[in-house]
Structure 1
Amino acid sequence: MDFLHPPAGGFDLSCLAATPDSSATFAEHEELKAILLAGNAHFDIQAVGEIATRGPSFALYTASIGSRDPLAPAVGFFGGIHGLERIGTQLILAWMRALLFRLEWDELLHRQLRKVRLVFMPIVNPGGMWAHKRANPHGVDLMRNAPQRAESPVPFLAGGQTFGPLLPWYCGRPGAPMEIESAALLNVVREQLASRPFSLALDCHSGYGFDDSLWFPYAKTRRLMAHLPEMFALKTMLEQSHPHHDYSFEPQSNQYLLHGDLWDHAYDQAPASHVFLPMTLELGSWLWIRKNPRQLFSRHGMFNPIKAHRVKRVLRRHADLLDFLTRAAFSAPGWLPAGERRAQLAQLAVAHWRPRRAP
């Protein structure tokens, strides 16, 4: 079966029609539907959940393309977990759109897709994005909604709180089921990524610091992850192939701890025999604010570039990272460390990312 042509049937394309009432949708959701409609001959499209708001309801869409071999490596691209951080969703949508155009002429891309699976979930929190809120329609911060608790003290409120949804960074009611959006993301990871011998995930956010950062588990503890040698090898390859990149690449715990991190939970639930490397891209929005301080007076401006030339620069600059991860997955058998080499990388990685002492 041709990997560029998904199995016939199984998805109703009529739901991808444009929504005529602009108040019942938002730009990124319409762009995603347009991309899925244009690429329906190539993408395997699924609706993995339905999110109700006080107004419209929104489907949670995923789109996959590439090898259907369940043992093939895969890369997942996620965005919009926080409804205010639209630039991460925009980055993924722009790359998906470019991918469709490249399919018409890029033979190298075709070779990659014969051996790699790409999975896209660009808008995890459509209800929050529609309402211009960080949290989902229930007031839950989805990145703090997993059941695990941090092993050391977390920043007050920002590390996750259970007082209630009227305060930010609400984890949800203790003991309650996870939110639909959180559960859907974890199901996509379990079924389409972590079930494979090797997979990567990139979750695009914004809003922290002046610099762009790549964070990986853990956020719950200062202990280092089991696949630290593999992550160190990936970091080294990124530095060698893109020597002028400006990413800070480190465990999230080097910055702060938090309760309920979704990627901690996804990583811990992955089979121990598989290599699953999840990362969070944090686009440093403070730099945009420093260049245009008036953005502080806009909730949108606190987390996204406002001026058109800065939006274009972000979309252009980080496309290389998405390309790099796709190539890394394609070439995984050639660089994944084993034996003595893995032991050497483990020592280097521990020395480089040695856990900081708790304050």
Structure 2
Amino acid sequence: MTELRALTPHASIPREQEGRDRRQRHLLRTFLPELVDLERILAEAPEAVATSVVDRITLDELALPVYRVDLGSCRPDAPAVLMVGGVHGLERIGAQVVIAWLKTLLARLAWDKTLQGLLQQVRITLMPIVNPGGMFLNQRSNPNGVDLMRNAPIAAQERSAFLLGGQRLSARLPWYTGRPDEGMEPESQALAAVIEDLLPGRPFSVALDCHSGFGWQDQIWFPYAYRRRPMRRIASVMALKLTWEQTYPNHAYRFEPQSRHYLTHGDLWDYFYKQVNRDNAGVFLPLTLEMGSWRWIRKRPRQLLRLQGLFNPMVPHRHKRVLRSHLSWMDFLLNAAASHENWLPTGDQESMLREAAIMHWYRDLD
């Protein structure tokens, strides 16, 4: 935990350096409390939890770490679960949900024999704050003005939504993709490095990227965002959906491909899905949790007066409700990964579920 030690005053530290450290701690507590909370959790985590810094994002005198947290099986053939948050700096609730799940896991590790046994079968990796610079600045993009979810080298096959689908006009406008000749942003590369290290060669892996945005309902999105045709593993998505609905029939999520809403350039999960599944015999399913923020605004319209209020629950009891309401879904993904042989379709069942998925989600395509 290098960052924690670096921010701790020490008698031998020069007074000027101590003053800078004090200012940095104040800035982080004020503008990035999620990072302070995460570092506190990791400092107290058991030895079985491995923590590393994938990259550091420089912002003035701050060097903001992008943390990777690993626990569970070290076998390279164990199924994997990747939890991601904080890709969009304005959508702080995404990072908070991932951190809340991490807290729950670590608390259960101390007494829950079932979880201890489960972690011998599955690998868990978390990147709770992918875009610490954007969160510090309270903006959707990273400090360079690039929208990380429009930053991958993949282009929409049809006309994308104006601006919303990604634009190269200016970093001063939202949804800026960055310049293609400059490659992916450091935060995107950090996430790509973790995926490249973690996922290839595994029989099954699933990722959940937690976001919030306009909508009345919480949604689970899956690729593609760059085209309207179904992904190759669409039968596995349908099997996961059916398994979830049979287990939790009173859930409130809507499962849909992102392309039903709009097409975009540069979607990270489209890119990672194609990269991982290209040479891998296993199954990788990247999912996005889109928490509907219109409900929070409807109950407290004055949130519209604050930029942060557009994407996050501002009332304490609603905030706590959101943090606990997604724990069952995240636990389900962990158990589904560990037991993927029992529900992942093969043979005739895969063909049947693929046809069902196409009828359910893509029947309006020509």
The CA deviation string for residues 194-253 of structure 1, in whole angstroms up to 9 with x for no partner, is: 441210000000013111000000000001001011110000011111111111101100
Query: How far does residue 174 in structure 1 lie from its aligned partner after superposition?
Result: 2.4
Is 1:23 matched up with 2:27?
yes
Answer yes or no: is 1:88 the counterpart of 2:83.
Answer: no
Question: Partner residue of 1:287?
Answer: 295
Matches within 5 A, 1:239-278: 239-270=245-276, 271-278=279-286
CA distance in 2, matches of 1:31, 1:43: 16
Q: What displacement does 1:46 show?
A: 1.2
Equivalent residue for 2:240, pick from 234, 240, 251:
234
Residue in structure 2 matched with residue 7 of structure 1 by the alignment: none
Q: 1:310 aligns with which of 318, 322, 341?
A: 318
Secondary structure of 2:93 counterpart? helix
The one-letter code sitting in structure 2 at the alignment partner of 1:291 is K
Give yes or no for contact 1:222–1:355 (8 Å, CA) kept in 2.
Answer: no
Q: Is the 8 A contact 2:201 2:281 kept in 1?
A: no
| 1:344 maps to amino acid | M
Match of 2:146 in 1: 140
How big is each residue's C-alpha offset from its partner over 1:130-181, in whole Å with a ceiling of 9 and x where there is no partner? Answer: 0111100000000000011100111111110000101010000122211000
Report the 3-state secondary structure (helix = DSSP H, G, I; strand = E; otherwise coil) of the residue aligned with 1:175.
helix
Return the alpha-carbon distance in structure 2 between the equivalents of residues 141 and 301 of structure 1.
19
Match of 2:354 among 339, 343, 346: 346
Q: Does 1:150 align with 2:153?
A: no
Alignment partner of 1:168: what SS?
coil
Q: How does 1:1-359 map to 2 (within 5 A)?
A: 12=2, 14-15=4-5, 20=22, 21-24=25-28, 26-270=32-276, 271-354=279-362, 356-357=364-365
* Contact 2:81-2:125 within 8 A present in 1 as well: yes
User: C-alpha distance in 2, partners of 1:300/1:195?
Assistant: 40
SS at match of 1:110: helix
Q: Specify the SS of the correspondent of 1:301.
A: helix
- Residue 358 of structure 2 aligns to which amino acid in structure 1? V
Residues of 2 paired with 1:344 and 1:356: CA distance? 19
Partners of 2:84 and 2:7 in 1: how far apart? Answer: 23
Measure how far apart 1:117 and its partner are: 0.4
What amino acid does structure 2 have at the position aligned with 1:338? Answer: T
Question: RMSD over aligned Cα, in angstroms?
Answer: 1.6
Whole-angstrom distance in 1 between the partners of 2:28 and 2:304:
27
Name the structure 2 match of 1:4: none
Q: TM-score, normalised by structure 1?
A: 0.94
For residues 117 and 29 of structure 1, the distance between their equivalents in structure 2, rounded to whole angstroms, comes to 23
Counterpart amino acid of residue 46 in structure 1: S
Whole-Å separation in 1 of the counterparts to 2:6 and 2:309: 29
Q: Is the 8 A contact 1:162 1:174 kept in 2?
A: no
The offset of 1:42, in angstroms, is 2.1
1:222·1:356 contact (CA, 8 Å) conserved in 2? no
Q: Confirm or deny: 8 A CA contact 1:193 1:200 kept in the other structure.
A: no
Structure 1 residues 70 and 350: CA distance shift in structure 2, 3 A: same
- More moved, 41-50 vs 304-313: 41-50
Greater helix content: 2
User: Secondary structure of the residue that 1:77 maps to in structure 2?
Assistant: strand
Segment drifting more, 41-50 vs 317-326: 41-50
| Separation in structure 2 between the aligned mates of residue 179 and residue 356 of structure 1, nearest angstrom | 36
Q: Is the 8 A contact 1:228 1:346 kept in 2?
A: yes
C-alpha spacing 1:16/1:231, structure 2 compared with 1 (3 Å): farther
Question: Percent identity of the aligned residues?
Answer: 48
**Aligned-residue offset at 1:190:** 1.8
Structure 1 or 2, whichever has the larger Rg, is 2
Q: Report the number of matched residues.
A: 348
70-79 or 91-100: bigger deviation = 91-100
Distance 1:197 1:33, change over 3 A: same
Conserved? CA contact 1:16–1:36, under 8 Å: no
1:104, distance to aligned residue in structure 2 (A) = 1.0
Aligned partners of 1:277, 1:71: CA distance in 2, in Å? Answer: 16
Q: Is the 8 A contact 1:16 1:37 kept in 2?
A: no
CA contact (8 A) 1:254 1:355 kept: no
Kept in 1: contact 2:70–2:125 (CA 8 A): yes
- Partners of 2:157 and 2:4 lie apart in 1 by 47
**Given that residues 24 and 56 in structure 1 are in contact (C-alpha distance below 8 angstroms), is that contact kept between their aligned partners in structure 2?**
no
Q: In 2, Cα distance between the equivalents of 1:274 and 1:159?
A: 30
Please report how far the alpha carbon of residue 303 of structure 1 lies from its aligned counterpart in structure 2 after TM superposition. 0.3
